[in-house]
Chains A and B, each alone.
Chain A
């Protein structure tokens, strides 16, 4: 169970303060596919960063299975990201110097797991996202849609129970985007993962069990905000 209690994130630069997330409270049960929608700059990515332990809230609590992330030191947070969370970014964020298979295997390898096992798992996941024939290509030599599928495979290699997808289709054409959303949907249905999708696209949000809308850092149920 993921629980956010009155979470606020304020970014400060000099005298300027920007509230990216404003008193957000939320519960996400395991296995749910949740879509957080809203325009650019509304705070979706910040909320996902807080959920993934990439950032810490200014106030409030992010509680995962009863443990407040604020109570974790950097090493525990890193371990949490490594073991419990798979992150998919809008701009794929692959390591350009590695090939496709190495990118997928990387989170497994940095856990100190054997290269052979890492390769086997990476191959399995690449087969799942239908990219086995591209496994030896350099990350920068494949298309955007392929990059995102690599990112999904990478997010799954440590078998996390939470998948955070930050605008995964934002940089793709609609057909490719749809394919990616189908994969994410399968993660929920077939692999029973908790999927939290941040998107500005209402079409993408249709894949989710539940949709929440963000605006100016505040979270609303769908239909609460009038445009």
Chain B
């Protein structure tokens, strides 16, 4: 068998270097996309995990109150239970460094004495225990990492200005840490300070974010946790530090699943490339196969031979794909990291974490997909009867006969896709949705031969009128070489379907969000702390700022909003407390169901809450039902008055009246103030007035409605940048398919081209014919791709996205998507046809017409 592979397959590869090279490149791109996406997500999660692990140190249990902090008086209660060897209080805060550094800095406020059993800090130079204690005594001192210091030219004694909430606070650097242990957190963007300093600086006087515990390894963590829970109020959580990792993995689960699914598209398109390449190869080598069969090579050996060829392509594709994938991952990591930070949680992933499992998985998928794609042609080869070997037209005729059967099978697949589209998710995952999308592509691939015949008959006369005889020949070739053209068109159709569907989905989503922004965010000016982008809901607007804005003569109404993260059903959701009469008066929140006036009345007057659509979907709760929320000291029931459309967060959001929140949570802090002006044309004047009067004391941002809208859409575009890149790669693979297929057809049609040249066809006419054929294939692929793309986009919007994220996206089949795709296809198929057209026109006539 090895000899057969060596003599038959390897010779074939080396004889057709270009064609083999293009096929390998196609597979490699598919593998590269898969690997780069998986490694990027893995690296981002790993960076987060690493930060959690480094910050946790030796702690094996933590006491916390997610999103809010808790009273430091609880510390003595926790300190000495049985089994706890040590406990240390912690304040954790992500501050923003002032310009020009502008970087996030993860700061731990620690009790230097009790912290020593948990974390080890190694200081650069002479900073010993004594000098370390020094910054305990001095207010506003900090220790940072060597990496951070070197990156921004900071030294011991340098001043570091931090934006904390709405204040800019200068700190003196008292220590530089080696990047060891906790100092590795957030890629070295890490600092420590004394806990009392931290409480004061971060507006957390009397509060703790966490108590780290070191539990005796001999004692069960669960037993200690249970004992602690009994002692503590019910809103305090006792958990393993690593629980946060699982939460984050859950949080980005849908994002990861959808991106991974998207990364398979190129591989799927690549499968057509392999199938096409292999089937062309089988047809071209029928004579050789016949000879081998007549020399005693068995059917099984022929089958094994072609499967081995598929596997060789897969292995070579994997080797190249892994290399390219690792390079691509450097770029995709930045995008994935930005998206995870913008949508979910701060991660600072700058280094790739290369997981051998992902590489092995990529290689296995490459080989598996290649063998699977080669299976059909390999079977065809194995079934070749020696006496049939010279009859080239046999296979072509078979496809003609099978067109009807394939068409019916395609309709069956589409029917199944329709049934799947109406199924519920499994464990919150749109398994049937993905199956439905896959079946649409399979269905249309099976319909492609019949579709090609019909569309060719439809376009053929116009093509003939436009391109005369060359057009007529091109149309004939598309119709009569269905074994090749249909597969190429199916690959192109698949890539276009993905391109169009993803574009429609993204643009529909964008338009939906834009409409939502216009309706929901109607404030003229939104005042936030300057560090809000980094510190999130841990940054507050000072009451003086709110008071100043409230008293401004141009301000008609003001809404003050407190947002906090809370755990609900194992997920982190947003609790949004607003002055609901103002909110409802000014914004036009849209509710899924129910009477708007009634809902508003119930929220503003009866203390009920409204939840976002995503919340309702995730937790299966809807209007009229009660929501159990953990409040300080007790679980409380809140009746859901309505479910509203919202695109703020995938995990869900609850809106309640601020007065109720403040009463129950005893928390008067404000995260943002939204200002509604009497005369919106005076926006700049009011903004200037606010900033000028408050800038001396506070670092705040006063963003206009337009700016916020633009920022939201910018984040949106940034989030989907990677999806655009992936669809383009899938399209490139399809274009490789056209080039490969056209080259193969040129080789196969060498004789026809020779005859045409012999009877007086100019080289330019041969080129034209080949180019028109490529264009016609592109056009047929476009029509099929557009129809399947629209169906696919509906599955993406109404099934996959809805079940994954819970968002209702309005369907907008934007015409520009189709126009752009058509232009892309015309240009791409023209470019793809150029080289084959050139090759065709250069054929030696005398050689080509020879029969022997």
Contacts and interface: CB of A to CB of B under 8 A. Distances in A.
A74 interface: yes
Nearest to A96: B393
Nearest to B757: A78
Contacts of A38: none
A15 to B, nearest CB: 20
A95 B758 contact: no
A112 B768 CA distance: 14
A112 B470 CA distance: 10
Interface stretch (A60-68, A80-88, A199-207, A215-223): A80-88
A93 B755 contact: yes
A142 B472 CA distance: 22
A106 B476 contact: no
Contact of A95 (B755, B845, B850): B755
A110 B476 contact: no
Interface in A80-138: 81-83, 87, 89-91, 93-98, 106-107, 109-112
Contact of A89 (B479, B481, B761, B849): B849
B769 to A, nearest CB: 9
Interface stretch (A23-31, A48-56, A174-182, A190-198): A48-56
Given A54-B846, A55-B845, A55-B846, A93 B758 contact: yes
A14 to B, nearest CB: 16
25 contacts: A54-B757, A74-B762, A75-B762, A78-B757, A81-B757, A81-B760, A82-B759, A87-B759, A89-B849, A91-B851, A93-B751, A93-B849, A95-B752, A95-B756, A97-B473, A97-B481, A98-B473, A107-B759, A109-B468, A110-B756, A110-B759, A110-B760, A111-B760, A140-B393, A158-B760
A79 interface: yes
A156 to B, nearest CB: 11
Listed from nearest, the 8 A-B pairs whose CB atoms lie closest are A82-B760, A97-B480, A109-B469, A55-B846, A91-B851, A107-B759, A49-B846, A97-B476
A94 B754 CA distance: 11
Contacts, number: 79
A83 B761 CA distance: 11
Contacts of B838: none
A46 B479 CA distance: 35
Given A49-B845, A55-B845, A95-B752, 19 more contacts: A46-B846, A54-B845, A54-B846, A78-B761, A78-B762, A78-B763, A81-B759, A81-B760, A90-B851, A93-B755, A93-B758, A97-B479, A97-B481, A106-B756, A109-B468, A109-B469, A109-B472, A110-B756, A110-B765
Contact of A106 (B759, B849, B850, B851): B759
Contacts of A49: 845-846
Contacts of B469: 106, 109-110, 112
Q: How large is the interface on B (under 10, 10 to 19, 20 to 34, 35 or more residues)?
A: 20 to 34
Contacts of B762: 74-75, 78
A189 to B, nearest CB: 24
A81 B759 CA distance: 6
B477 A97 contact: yes
B451 to A, nearest CB: 19
Contacts of A82: 759-761
Contacts of A91: 851
Interface string B725-763: 000000000000000000000000001101111111111
A3 interface: no
B846 A98 contact: no
A188 interface: no
A154 interface: yes
Nearest to A46: B846
A112 B468 contact: yes
Interface string B752-789: 10111111111101000000000000000000000000
A185 B147 CA distance: 95
B843 to A, nearest CB: 11
A64 to B, nearest CB: 15
A171 B754 CA distance: 20
Interface string B466-486: 001110110011011100000
B388 to A, nearest CB: 15
Interface centre among A49, A82, A83, A95 (most CB of B within 10 A): A95
Contacts of B851: 89-91
A155 to B, nearest CB: 8
Contacts of A107: 759-760
A109 B762 CA distance: 12
A5 B851 CA distance: 28
Contacts of A98: 473, 476
A29 B106 CA distance: 99
Contacts of B480: 96-97
A85 to B, nearest CB: 8
A103 to B, nearest CB: 9
A83 B760 CA distance: 8
A52 B760 CA distance: 10
Contacts of B759: 81-82, 87, 106-107, 110, 154
Contact of A79 (B756, B758, B760, B846): B760
Contacts of A83: 760
Contacts of A154: 759
A158 B760 CA distance: 10
B766 to A, nearest CB: 10
A98 B757 CA distance: 16
Contacts of A97: 473, 476-477, 479-481, 752
Given A54-B846, A97-B480, A109-B468, A78 B756 contact: no
Interface in B446-470: 468-470
Nearest to A140: B393
Contacts of B846: 46, 49, 54-55
Interface string B829-852: 000000000000000011001110
Nearest to A109: B469
Contacts of A94: 755
Contact of B758 (A87, A90, A96): A87
A78 B756 CA distance: 10
Interface centre among A94, A107, A112 (most CB of B within 10 A): A107
A178 B794 CA distance: 67
A45 B847 CA distance: 11
B760 A78 contact: yes
A147 B617 CA distance: 70
A98 B765 CA distance: 17
A46 B847 CA distance: 10
A74 B761 CA distance: 11
A89 B757 CA distance: 14
Interface centre among A98, A106, A140 (most CB of B within 10 A): A106
Contacts of B754: 93
B756 to A, nearest CB: 7
Given A97-B477, A109-B468, A52 B755 contact: no
Interface centre among B479, B755, B756, B760 (most CB of A within 10 A): B760
A48 to B, nearest CB: 9
A117 to B, nearest CB: 13
A90 B851 CA distance: 9
B91 to A, nearest CB: 79
Nearest to B844: A55
Contacts of A106: 469, 756, 759
A75 B764 CA distance: 9
B755 A81 contact: no
A176 B479 CA distance: 33
A54 B758 contact: yes
A110 B849 contact: no
A101 B94 CA distance: 81
Contacts of B479: 97
Contacts of A45: 850
A49 B760 CA distance: 13
A171 B161 CA distance: 94
A108 B242 CA distance: 80
A107 B751 CA distance: 16
Interface centre among B469, B481, B850 (most CB of A within 10 A): B469
A79 B752 CA distance: 18
